Amino acid sequence: MQVGLTHWQFLQLFGRHIPSGGPGELESNNPDERKRGDELVRSDISGKLEINCLSCHNAHPGQDHAEYAVQIARQNYRWAAAAACEFGSVKGIAAAQIDTYDPLMGDAIATTYRENTFDHLKKVFFDIVRKVPNERCYFCHSNLDLSKDGSEKWTADEDVLLAAGLSCVDCHRNGLDHNIIRGYEGEDAASKNPLAASTTCEGCHTEGRLGAPVPEHPGIPPVHFEKLTCTACHSGPWPDQKTYRTKTSRAHALGVHGVKKTDEMLPHIMSPVFARQHDGKIAAHKLLWPAFWGSLKDKKVTPVSMEIVKRTARRVIGRRMLLPSGDWPALTAEHITKALTLLSSNESMEGEPVYICGGKLYRLDESGKLREPEEHPAAQPYLWPIAHNVRPAAQSLGVRRCEDCHSTDGPFFFGDVAVDTPVVSERDSVKKMVEFEGIGAFYAWAFAFSFVFRPWLKVVALVSAGLIGIVLLLYGLKALACVVKTLAEGD
C-alpha cells in the first residue's frame, strides 16, 4: 500500500470494522503481498480472515461484534467468527505464540461451543436472515457528535426514517454481488440496480415508495432544489456558529473494548460542513484535515512510508510529547524543520520531503530553513456527505424563517470551520463556511443583508397595492357617476 502498510498491518488496524475477506484472504505464501518475512510465519498461525457472513446476517441477539474486534487484535483470524457468534467462545492468543506453533496440533488456542445450543443430533440452529437487522449496521455505522449539548445518545432524536419503521436495508439494498446502494443522486450503481435511482431521497418522496409522503415545500423558491441537496436541510446535526467534532465507529473504534474514550482522541472529524459537491449542489459533509509526511515530486505529494515516519518521529517528538488523551502533540516550526532535515538525508526518499497539515504544505528552502506554509491540493480537507440522522420537516433548516440560512452571521454561510492541526501557532485557525460552497463571501453577505429590509418591502408593497386599489376604486366610482349622469340626461 502507498503509506507502507502491508495487508497484515491493515487488518490489525481496520479488520475490526470490516466483514473480512479481501486482504484477509490473501495467500500466506505470497511474499509480494507480505513484504516482511515474519508476517508470512504469523499468518500461518493466525490463519485467514475469511468473510464472516454472520457479522451482518445473524439475527440472534448474542452476536457480538465487539468480541470479533478482540479476536482481530489477538490475531485469532481463523477463530474470530466462531468467537463472535452466540454459542462459541475462544481461548488463547495467536499473537502470543512462538513462530513454530502449529494451530492444527497445539491446544493453546481452542474453540469451545455451548452444549445447550445443540440438539440430540448435534445440530445447531443458525438464525440467518436475508434482511439484515439494524443492530448489525450500528457497530460499523454509528456517530457521536461532541456538540455543546453533550455527547450522550439520549440528547439526540432518532433518525426520522427509523422512527417511522424503516430499516437500514429498506434503502441500502443489494443483490448477491453485495454492491450496496448508497442512496446518492446519480450513483454509479444505477446502471446495475434499477432501484438505485429511485432509492434516493428525491426518488422515494416523489414516487411515494415505502409510504414516503410527497413533500410540498410551500413558499420555498424552486432555485433551492437546483442548488441544494435534500440532506443540506434535513440531515446531520443542526449547524452552529462553529463546527462540532464527531466521532465515528470506524475512525474511533466506537463499541470496541479497551479503546480510548476521550473527546480529544484523533482523528478530529468536523461536522456539519456545507460544501459544494461535484454535481454543483451544496450538501452537509463531515470533514477531516489531512496531516502526513510526504515527498514532493513533479508537483505531486506522495505519503512517506510509515516505517520511515516512525523512525523520524521518535527522534523529533519522542514519547514525552505524546498525550494520554490521544490528542495532537504540540508541534513547532523547529520540530518540522528538524524532521524535514532528517527525511532529506534518507536515501530512500524520492523527491523533496514535505509536511502536510492544517490545509498547508511545509517545506525547506535552499538554506535548510522552513518556508512560509503554502497552499497545495494535497493539503485540502477530505469531505464526505452526511446522510443521517434525517430530521423531519419541522426540524429542517428554513422551517422558522429564511434567516435560518440567509442572515449576515448565519452558520450556513458564515459559520466557522475549525482548521485542525498539530502546529501550535495555527491551532486557532478557522475558515468560513462560504469558502467551501463556491460562493463569494461579499455576495452571500449582501444577499443575506437584503433580508433585513424584506419585511419592510412587503409592507410597502401591501400599502402601495392598497393605495392603487383605492385610486382605482375612486376612478371607478367617478366613471360610474358619469355613466349614470349620461343615462339620466338621455331620458
Average pLDDT along the chain, 491 residues, taken 10 residues at a time: 73 84 62 55 84 91 92 92 91 89 84 88 89 91 77 70 89 84 73 74 84 85 89 88 90 85 89 91 94 90 85 79 84 90 83 92 90 92 91 86 85 92 90 91 82 71 87 86 77 59
DSSP letter assigned to residue 381: P
Host domain of residue 491: 453-491
Copy the grid coordinates of residue 123. 445440530
Whether 329 is covered by a domain: the verdict is yes
What total of structural domains would you count in the chain? 4
Residues 309 and 413 in one domain: no
Cβ contacts of residue 308 below 8 Å, gap of 6+? 4, 343, 346, 348, 349
Residue 44 CB neighbours (<10 A): 14
Residue 349: what pLDDT? 78
| pLDDT at site 196 | 76
Task: Please report whether residue 126 resides in a domain.
Answer: no
Report phi then psi at 360, rounded to 5. Answer: -130, 160
Both 335 and 392 in one domain: the answer is: no
**Are residues 154 and 249 located together in one domain of the fold?**
yes
Residues near 348 by beta carbon (within 8 Å), at least 6 away in sequence = 305, 308
Whether residue 243 lies inside any domain: the answer is: yes
Model pLDDT, residue 84:
92
The answer to whether 248 and 142 have CB atoms below 8 angstroms apart is yes
Same domain, yes or no, for 308 and 419?
Answer: no
The reply to whether 179 and 201 lie within a common domain is yes
Query: What pTM, to 2 d.p., does this model score?
Result: 0.83
The domain boundary, picked from 358, 380, 402, lies at 380
Contact criterion met (CB below 8 Å) for 200 and 186? no
Looking at residue 29, its pLDDT comes to: 43
Q: H helices within 74-140, ranges in order?
A: 80-84, 134-138
Find where cell 466462531 sits. 82
DSSP string of 453-481?
THHHHHHHHHHHHHHHHHHHHHHHHHHHH
Residue 270 lies in a domain: yes
180 and 197 part of one domain: yes
Is there a domain that residue 445 lies in?
no
What are the grid coordinates assigned to 382, written together? 477530505
Q: Is residue 125 part of a domain?
A: no
Residues making up the chain, counted from first to last: 491
- Do residues 77 and 164 share a domain? no
Strands 244-248 and 269-276: antiparallel
Task: Write down the pLDDT at residue 403.
Answer: 83
**How far is the C-alpha of 265 from the C-alpha of 255, rounded, in Å?**
15
Is there a single domain that holds both residue 181 and residue 261?
yes
Asked, for residue 123, whether it belongs to a domain, the answer is no
Are residues 94 and 164 located together in one domain of the fold?
A: no
pLDDT at 272: 92
What is the pLDDT, as a whole number, of residue 151?
Answer: 58
* Domain-embedded: residue 148: yes
User: In which residue are the cell numbers 433548516 written?
Assistant: 397
Say yes or no: 232 and 314 in one domain: no
Q: Both 20 and 148 in a single domain?
A: no
Residues 273 and 296 in one domain: no
